[in-house]
């Protein structure tokens, strides 16, 4: 199961966003920008931004997450959200022994599918180990023959070997990453990935991320979630028809 941890965020994120909004709409000097921003006034600025659809001040608040227990398939999806920063565990430099992988619930619930799935994962793991060992032995021999110390040769050979062996690893292969997004990017991320039409793995991660940011910036993310929590569903005929359920789930009141 995916696990998300909020590693850090802009100090006083809501106040920073309110200060940026204050600068946009007043003649306030920069020196006094944070003056008078009580919780009540901060909330007022944030609600004004939401009502006006003015999201650029929201970009000044950033949030950094650690995500683990997810698949490389998940990685391919989340990196489509381009206005973000990603640091991902490297398969070039980290040997995946033991080989960990993600199993979809639908597969777990079907004994026949699970048996086939686990056999495929074991075959991939075995191939990865075999190819790594073959290439490592080959490269180490070449390095030692060229005068490199054995310990150095073995270490260098290992890194080169797993770089090519990783090509047999499946999308199910488990990975971990650190992700940073500003609040505006998170709005977009939640709109797409909290929706019931999103794939189950990234939807679970999005829900955990939204829960975490709501704890530190509840006003800023009060209306965050799938589009249907604050308006009509944009999916048309493809709508899941669960609008009211989604509004209850994400705690959005209209």
- Per-residue pLDDT tens for 80-134? 999 999 999 999 899 998 889 999 999 999 999 999 999 999 999 999 999 999 9
Confidence bin at 69 (pLDDT 50/70/90): very high
CB 42 within 8 A of CB 14: yes
pLDDT exceeds 60 at position 254: no
pLDDT exceeds 80 at position 55: yes
- What is this structure's pTM? 0.91
Q: What is the pLDDT of residue 206?
A: 98
Give the pLDDT mean for 59-88: 96
Give the mean pLDDT of the chain.
91
User: Which DSSP helix (H) or strand (E) runs through 120?
Assistant: helix 111-145
pLDDT exceeds 70 at position 31: no
Q: What is the pLDDT of residue 30?
A: 67
More confident residue, 115 or 51: 115
- 142-180: per-residue pLDDT in tens? 999 999 999 999 999 999 999 999 999 999 999 999 999
Q: Is 197 among the catalytic positions?
A: no
What angle do helix axes 111-145 and 150-165 make, rounded to 10 degrees? 140
Give the pLDDT mean for 216-243: 89
Using CA atoms, how far apart are residues 182 and 65, in angstroms rounded to an integer? 11
Q: What is the pLDDT of residue 235?
A: 86
Q: Considering 72, 184, 193, 203, which one is annotated as catalytic?
A: 193
CB 55 within 8 A of CB 121: no
Q: What is the DSSP letter of 251?
A: T
């Amino acid at each position: 199961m995916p696990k998300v941890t909020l590693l850090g965020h802009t100090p006083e994120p809501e106040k920073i966003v309110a200060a940026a909004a204050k600068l946009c709409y007043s003649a306030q000097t920069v020196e006094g920008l944070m003056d008078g921003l009580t919780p009540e006034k901060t909330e007022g600025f944030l609600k004004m931004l939401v009502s006006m659809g003015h999201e650029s001040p929201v970009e000044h608040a950033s949030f950094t997450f650690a995500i683990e227990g997810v698949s490389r398939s998940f990685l391919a999806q989340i990196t489509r959200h381009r206005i973000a920063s990603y640091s991902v565990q490297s398969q070039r430099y980290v040997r995946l022994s033991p080989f960990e992988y993600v199993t979809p619930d639908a597969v777990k619930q079907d004994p026949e599918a699970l048996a086939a799935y686990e056999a495929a994962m074991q075959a991939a793991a075995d191939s990865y180990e075999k190819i790594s060992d073959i290439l490592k032995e080959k490269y180490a021999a070449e390095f030692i023959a060229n005068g490199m110390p054995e310990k150095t040769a073995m270490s260098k050979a290992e890194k080169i070997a797993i770089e090519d062996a990783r090509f047999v690893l499946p999308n199910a292969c488990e990975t971990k990453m650190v992700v940073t997004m500003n609040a505006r990017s998170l709005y977009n991320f939640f709109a797409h990935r909290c929706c019931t039409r999103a794939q189950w793995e990234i939807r679970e991660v999005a829900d955990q991320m939204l829960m975490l940011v709501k704890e530190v910036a509840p006003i800023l993310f009060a209306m965050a979630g799938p589009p249907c929590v604050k308006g009509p569903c944009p999916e048309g005929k493809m709508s899941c028809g669960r609008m009211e359920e989604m509004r209850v789930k994400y705690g959005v009141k209209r």
